[in-house]
Amino acid sequence: MLGVAVLLLGTACERETKLSLGNLPATTRGPAPSSVLRIPSGGGAARLYRMPTLEPSTWTTDDKLPPIEHPIGADPEQGLVYVFDGKQNVVALDLETRRVRTSLEQIRYAAVGPDGALYAVDTGSTVTQLVRRAPVRFRSKLQGTPAELHGTMTGAVLARLTGPAPVLETLGSDQAPTSMTLASGAFATSLYGDLVAVAADTAVVLYAPQGKNRPLPVPVSGHARAAMFSPSGHRVYVAQEDHRLLVFDRFSGAELQAIALPGGARALRGDQYGQWLMVRPDSGDSAWVIDIGRARHTGTVATKWAADLPAIASPNTLLARQGKDVIARDLGKSDFPETGRVENAADDFWLVIGWRPAQDVETVITADSTAIAAADSEAAAPSVYLQVSSSQNPSWASELSEKLRAAGLPASVLPPKRSDEAFRVVLGPYASRDQAEETGRKIGMPSFVVTAQDEAAR
């Protein structure tokens, strides 16, 4: 439910809407803190650390992981983390039960989509999707060898194939593969997989994977080296050799901003909420930090780049390797002071996840049933709320509430009264049912009205 709600929020946004998650300002009051999972490269027990202090959680695995080739990704709502072992197997770590099991065997390539679904290509080029722990075998096979694999929110997989000319192949569970030739250059996809960008030196070319629209070339001066979409998909960031970070509107191709950089750039990496962006310089081991809300370069962190780190986690924390250690730094303060360190941990893999065990969850509830009832007792008419999501994971509920509040909506979380109930995300209060229902029609998310009388009946 949560993943669908976030998707609907993004797709309901038009270019100038206040709900654009790509326009979130940088703020010290960010989303609920993330966790970071330490995955031992040589095998063993995974460990969980709290952000931003990197204090170890009491959570640890009951089973040991095998030696790991690299992590694939996580499905926080299902509480699963997927990794590749050294024997062409996809191994799943169940965060709730703390158990480890082999999910798929003889796998060559795999990726996790934005909704947490796993897409895996086996040694015979057959694609299998794992969604909510259920396997779906695609009817058609992948037609080439993927250099990159990406999952989408529509259940299709995108593969950039190797060969004399780059090719993008799109394949769904019940549809034949389609392909299109791409320009040469660094490749990026939007979060939901509805758009692809290629940094092709003198232009950034935008492609719709389903082929419904013609490619849109956006001319770029200064040699485009890398591209990245904002989380909402409304903006495209372009790293240049010409010491600038350009920001474009993905709909019109118009240039919105040009942010000065200390030098030429070759790669980009962002956070989940569109508040921060890291730029990899042409040379040297460092990361330039860009404050998106202020549209400026705010500092530099010395670190080597790898597939997992550096990474940005909430709240406003950069996680990076420094020598043999892994450190956390506060991006919201000048000079990025260190907030935590794990010694002798640089050889392991690290994965930022939106999941926290119950014992680590801080009080993030901003409204509850008692507050609703109290508000009604002081008002002439009962308060009306709009429920938009429910989840058994309090961290997911809190993160969605924070996203909605950052987008200008009056969101809060109602805690469960009983252990078998869910954490519910609501908007309001509203003066009337009509007002709440009108909001529900505008936001484009599944919702229904909740009143204090409903709470009393529970």
Looking at this protein, which amino acid is placed at residue 147?
A
Predicted confidence at residue 377, as pLDDT, reads 43
- Residue 40 near residue 46 (C-beta atoms within 8 A): yes
Looking at this protein, which amino acid is placed at residue 236?
V
More confident residue, 357 or 342: 342
Give Cα 238 to chain centroid, integer Å: 19
DSSP letter assigned to residue 167: E
Task: Give the CA angle between residues 261, 267, 213 to the nearest 5°.
Answer: 110
Q: Please write the tens of the pLDDT for every residue from 145-171.
A: 999 999 998 889 999 998 888 999 999
Four-CA torsion 336, 342, 348, 353, nearest 10 degrees: -60
Residues in the chain: 458
DSSP result, 114-140: TTS-EEEEETTS-EEEEETTEEEE-SS
More confident residue, 45 or 362: 45
Q: Please write the tens of the pLDDT for every residue from 377-403.
A: 444 445 788 888 877 677 777 778 877
For 42, counting Cβ atoms within 10 Å of its Cβ (0-12 exposed, 13-18 middle, 19+ buried), the class is exposed
Residue 31 above 80 pLDDT? no
Helix axes 394-406, 2-12, angle to 10 degrees: 10
The mean pLDDT value of the chain amounts to: 83
Distance CA 218, CA 249 (A): 10
Distance CA 388, CA 1 (A): 9
Peptide bond into 429 cis (omega under 30): yes
Residue 371 above 90 pLDDT? no
Predicted confidence at residue 77, as pLDDT, reads 82
Nearest to 171 by CA among 131, 214, 135, 120: 120
Peptide bond into 315 cis (omega under 30): yes
- Residue 137 near residue 128 (C-beta atoms within 8 A): yes
Counting DSSP H helices and E strands in the chain, the numbers are: 5, 35
Strands (E) located in 64-215 = 68-75, 80-85, 90-94, 99-104, 107-112, 118-122, 127-131, 134-137, 146-151, 157-161, 167-172, 175-181, 186-189, 196-199, 201-207
Would the pTM of this model clear 0.75, i.e. be above it?
no
Task: For strands 186-189 and 201-207, give the pairing.
Answer: unpaired
Nearest to 425 by CA among 404, 451, 455: 404
Q: Please write the tens of the pLDDT for every residue from 247-284.
A: 999 888 899 999 999 999 999 999 988 889 999 999 98
Task: Name the least confident of 299-308, 331-340, 435-444.
Answer: 435-444
Phi/psi region, residue 343 (left: phi>0; alpha: psi -120 to 50; beta: rest), is beta
Distance CA 423, CA 416 (A): 6
Task: Give the CA angle between residues 302, 303, 304 to the nearest 5°.
Answer: 145
- Residue 33 near residue 318 (C-beta atoms within 8 A): no
Q: Please write the tens of the pLDDT for every residue from 206-235.
A: 999 876 778 999 999 889 999 999 988 889
| Pair of tokens at residue 69 | 């080739």
Nearest to 86 by CA among 62, 107, 61, 63: 107
Predicted confidence at residue 22, as pLDDT, reads 34
